[in-house]
Chains A and B, each alone.
Chain A
Amino acid sequence: MDVSPVVEVVAARLRYAGDLALDGVDFRMFPGEVHSLMGENGAGKSTLIKALTGAIRLDSGTVLLEGKVVNFATPAAAQRVGISTVYQEIDLLPNLSVAENIMLGREPRKLGAIDWAAMRASASAALEALGITIDPRSPLGSHSLAIQQLVAIARAISTDLKVLVLDEPTSSLDQDEVAELFRVIRELKTRGVAILFVSHFLEQVYEICDRITVLRNGQLVGEYLTTELLRIDLVQKMLGRESSELDVLESRSTPAVSPLGRQSIVSARGIGKRGKLRPTDLEVYEGELLGVAGLLGSGRTELARLLAGIDRADTGELMVGGNREHFHEPRQALRAGIAYSSESRKTEGIIGELSVRENITLALQAERGWVRRIPRARQAELSASWIEALDIRPADPERPAGVLSGGNQQKVLLARLLALSPRLLILDEPTRGIDVGAKVEIQRLIADLATTGVAVVFISAELEEVLRVGHRIIVLRDREIVATLDPDSVTFEILLAIVAKASGE
């Protein structure tokens, strides 16, 4: 290609909270193209975007804009040279007018005072260029999220825009709004703007993007032309395929109770939440390991959060152990015996400053209420037994949990939930970001657990893992369960095909 890239990131490396968030990643964008950055949780997408837009500084590596090395201290500095970002959570000011949101910071002035008439005229011009007809005087907060997003784009194009980053722009838009956004994106393309379109909706990526860069675990997998990359290949590149070292988990555990006599622990009928999960039926049986496969944004986490009472379902009903339940908060789900471990271990799980002992006894104490304090001796006994049972290392209950390795933190979390003696344990990506040995150990622990009659919902982005661990597998795609499978009768390739398939195919 004889066109040179408008922006380039070379050998980007960044260590974040102990993990290598970016490990020598190269990335480039050409003018007038729509480029997609793909990857699962922890792939390094958001870190790369932040590096590109001045929100963080790289440990090493360079960012080049039109061939020149640039070093942004702030996102505002990046904006000044033509790299703008429109975030999922719109970073504008809902309390001010549309015109101000577009123009503030470079508003036209007359004799030291803001020239409101000129400001509205410029704002109108920017809106018109995008074909948006709204009153620039109206407060931004009075418009829908879709319009607010277009206003954010209008703000970006009223400068000399070279690169526009759209981070999950379509996640809360309906179909018409997406079409409108795509019309605007195509308009910007013709002006030679390079657009980075980050979305987990594969359909949309294939509809609008010219080029795709895939990241996995902070590393570059490759850069491809959309037309030359089959959907199934893309998904495989995103999810990756591990070497055979994980086959150490020789054979799958067998369900503790034979399928015939088994009892349903959770039975969901048509539960769903607008924009999160379409109405879905699901049964989970005692002693069963239910593997959940699906891409980021497929509804896998959303399903887990509905079952665990973290989000409230709009529709459907939930039976737990034969009783009809309607959870308003996680406490109620816990009382019914459903425990949930979040995919965000660091922010929604482990409390790093507290000791391993305190982390383990936290949920149990919360369930008893703060008045009936667990005696210190009992706490020590409890944590010692869990440390031994799960082989948590170092085996020191007083060490702050934050210093433990990822795998051991995950075990501490497991111990916390198991101390509640749940009937159903929902684990959202429990093995993400931990090393291979710890991964196998945790998989084995989960398998052992099922033999005691506990039901486990096991969510993972790694298809082999789901295949290896689950007694039964469900696949989510486009916010609904699209298949229920027997792991003995499907191969990795078949599962991959189901996960990657376009809806309607």
Chain B
Amino acid sequence: MTITHETEPTTTAPVIPAWRRVVGSRVSWMPVLAAVALLLIMFAAAQAYFGRFITPGVISSLFVDNAYLIVLAVGMTFVIITGGIDLSVGAVMAFTGVLAAFLLTNGVPTALVVTIMIPTGALFGLLIGILVQYFDVQPFIASLVGMFLARGLCYVLAPRAIKVSDVGVLGLQSTKIGGGGWYITATVIIALAVVIIGAWVLGYTRFGRTVYAVGGSEQSARLMGLAVARTKVLVYVVSGACAGIAGLLFTAYTAAGYSLNGIGTELDTIAAVVIGGTLLTGGSGYLVGSLAGVLVYGVIKTAISFLGVDQSWTRITIGILLLAFVVVQRLIVARANRR
């Protein structure tokens, strides 16, 4: 505590040790650092075990295979920072994919299809946001409504998988840029661009800071005159729009629109965001962490396919990690409250 007890105001700058300036004011970064550390440890362990894990090919495909999940995690991070949850993203991603495949096979031009996908996702988000904010429905239930609606509409549109052969869409995935074993696809570029734009919005706009404020204390945010209602709706719109983008990336990745795509993906997304250090109680989290969370998920998946055992072990491992991270989060919050 640095109260001064002199009667005249002191004008000298506060003396803060250098380490405090770096770490002390960045307590909320601790869980993110934990996620990055976990990622590095997992890389090192996998490298030690398999011998040839850290290779350009593995790392490149880590990004390529999980590009859609990165985009979903960005939207989910916005929602979770406000203290909400969005269970609809997997189904919305599937729906926008099916819709795209349906439109493409019916001869709608690629550019138009792509521009329809994102607003469609955002529309689902808007519905959920309005339910949450103006009808006072629990985010869990409201997004469940969105999930069922999107999933149901998938079946209405296409009971069976629709193959996509449009070169414009497939090119996002198949065009590989790189050399020496390293490569990158347009899907990865889009995913990373979403992360960067998302991080800028969260860090440098009033909307972004209001997202954190709402998660900290909705009541206080309202008293501070911030646009709480609008923000709470908008985070679901952002998440829905991200699901629309993910739908595009996933369609490019699988070359098909299929009603059963992305079942359980919303849970993978939530797991990645939480492992990435975003508090489920809201108010704290960073997109860098969510990116690290997705990569942790990807490394586990890759390692398990290296082992050649059943992929259900991915879920089991993620489950255990999630448990550990949630418990650690509770402890951090409990400690913070004791101060």
> Which of the segments A87-95, A260-268, A497-505 contacts the partner chain?
A87-95
Cα–Cα distance between A180 and B1 once the two chains are bound (Å):
13
A23 at the interface (CB under 8 A from B): no
A93, B220: Cβ atoms closer than 8 Å: yes
CB–CB B216/A94 < 8 A: yes
Closest B residue, CB atoms, query A109? B206
Is A113 in contact with B339, judged by CB distance below 8 angstroms?
no
Q: Which parts of A122-154 form the interface with B (CB within 8 Å)?
A: 128-135, 137-139, 141-144, 146-147
Which B residues are in CB contact (< 8 Å) with A180? 3, 5
The answer on a CB contact under 8 Å between A137 and B25 is: yes
A104 within 8 A of B: yes
Q: From A95, A128, A141, A146, give the contact of B11 (CB < 8 A).
A: A128
Instruction: Known contacts A100-B209, A114-B209; decide if A131 and B24 are in contact (CB<8 Å).
Output: no
Closest to A142 in B: B27
Q: A95-B212, A135-B21 are in contact. Are A144 and B205 (CB under 8 A)?
A: no
Q: Which residues of B contact A105 (CB under 8 A)?
A: 224-226
Please tell me which stretch of A73-81, A231-239, A289-297, A305-313 contacts chain B, meaning at least 4 of its Cβ atoms lie within 8 angstroms of it: A73-81
0/1 interface trace, chain B 200-212, chain A, CB 8 Å (1 if under): 1001111001101
B225 adjacent to A147 (CB under 8 Å): no
From 94 to 122 in chain A, residues with beta carbon under 8 angstroms from any chain B beta carbon are: 94-97, 100, 104-105, 107, 109, 112-114, 116
Contacting pair B14 A179 (CB below 8 A): no
B3 and A95 form a contact (CB under 8 A): no
Whole-angstrom CA separation of A490 from B220 in the bound complex? 49
Q: Mark B17-52, 1 if CB is under 8 A from A, else 0.
A: 000110011011000000000000000000000000
Q: Given the interface contacts A96-B212, A131-B8, A134-B2, does A139 sit within 8 Å of B217 by beta carbon? A: no
Q: Is A177 an interface residue (CB 8 A)?
A: yes
User: Does the CB pair B5–A138 fall under 8 Å?
Assistant: no
Interface hub of A93, A131, A144, A180 (most chain B Cβ within 10 A): A93
User: Inside 8 A of A80's CB, which chain B residues have their CB?
Assistant: 225
Q: Which residues of A contact B13 (CB under 8 A)?
A: 133
Distance in Å: Cβ of B85 to nearest Cβ of chain A: 18
- Tell me, rounded to whole Å, the shortest Cβ–Cβ distance linking B219 to chain A: 7
Given A128-B11, A183-B7, does the pair A138, B25 have CB atoms closer than 8 Å?
A: yes
B237 to chain A, nearest CB (A): 19
Given contacts A80-B225, A147-B3, A180-B5, whether A139 and B209 have CB atoms under 8 Å apart is no
A467 to chain B: closest CB distance in Å?
43
Q: List residues of chain A with CB within 8 A of the CB of B7.
A: 183
A122, chain B: closest CB distance, angstroms: 15
CB <8 Å contact, A79 and B5: no
Tell me whether A207 is interfacial, beta carbon within 8 Å.
Answer: no
Q: Whole-angstrom distance from the CB of B75 to the nearest CB of chain A?
A: 21
Q: Is the CB of B213 within 8 A of A143?
A: no
Q: At the interface, yes or no: A176 with Cβ under 8 Å from chain B?
A: yes
Q: Tell me which residues across on chain B come within 8 A of A112, comparing CB atoms.
A: 205
Check: B146 CB closer than 8 A to any chain A CB. Answer: no
Using C-beta atoms within 8 Å of the partner chain, give the interface range for chain B. Answer: 35 or more
Among A105, A129, A146, A183: residue with most chain B CB under 10 A: A105
Q: How far is the CA of A144 from the CA of B13 in the complex (A)?
A: 20
**Judging by beta carbons under 8 Å apart, are B1 and A144 in contact?**
yes
Q: Which residues of the other chain, A, contact B11 by a CB distance below 8 angstroms?
A: 128
Distance in angstroms from B222 CB to nearest chain A CB is 7
- B81's closest neighbor in chain A, by CB? A95
- Asked whether A114 lies within 8 Å of B213 as measured between CB atoms, the reply is no
Bound-complex Cα distance A177 to B10 (A):
17
Task: Give the residue name and chain of the A residue nearest to B208 (CB).
Answer: A114
With A91-B220, A113-B205 as contacts: A142 and B339 at CB distance below 8 Å: yes
Count residues on chain A whose CB falls below 8 Å from chain B CBs. 45
A129 to B8, CA, bound (A): 10
Task: Give every chain A residue within 8 A of B12 (Cβ-Cβ).
Answer: 133
**Alpha-carbon gap, A142 to B30, bound state (A):** 14
The answer to whether B221 and A93 have CB atoms under 8 Å apart is yes
**Which chain A positions have C-beta within 8 A of B210?**
104
CA distance A44 to B223 in the complex (A): 22
Residues of B within 8 Å of A97, CB to CB, are 25
Complex contacts, A146 vs chain B, CB 8 Å:
1, 3
Chain A, 36-71, CB within 8 A of any chain B CB: none
Quick check: B336 and A141 within 8 Å, CB to CB?
A: yes
Q: Closest CB of chain B to A14's CB: distance in Å?
A: 21
List residues of chain A with CB within 8 A of the CB of B14: 133-135
Residues of B within 8 A of A135 (CB): 14, 16, 20-21, 25
Contact of B213 among A93, A132, A139 (CB under 8 A): A93
**Contacting residues, chain B, for A129 (C-beta < 8 A):** 9
B176-223 at interface with A (beta carbon < 8 Å): 200, 203-206, 209-210, 212-213, 215-217, 219-223
- Cβ of B283 under 8 Å from chain A: yes
Within 8 Å by CB of B283, from A95, A100, A130, lies A95
Decide if B284 is an interface residue (CB 8 Å cutoff).
yes
Within A440-478, which residues are at the interface with B (CB < 8 Å)?
none
For the complex, is B4 an interface residue (Cβ under 8 Å from A)? yes
Of B209, B223, B336, B339, the contact of A91 (CB 8 Å cutoff): B223
Q: A259 to nearest B CB, angstroms?
A: 47
Report B-chain residues with C-beta under 8 Å of the C-beta of A183: 7
CB distance from B149 to the nearest CB of A (A): 33
Complex contact A114–B216 (CB within 8 A): no
Given contacts A133-B14, A134-B14, A183-B7, 8 further A-B contacts (CB under 8 A): A93-B220, A96-B209, A130-B9, A135-B14, A137-B25, A138-B25, A139-B28, A187-B9
Q: List 14 A-B contacts (CB under 8 A).
A: A79-B225, A93-B220, A104-B224, A109-B206, A114-B205, A114-B209, A131-B8, A133-B12, A134-B14, A139-B27, A144-B1, A146-B1, A147-B1, A179-B5
Nearest 6 pairs between A and B by C-beta?
Answer: A131-B9, A76-B225, A93-B216, A95-B283, A95-B216, A113-B204
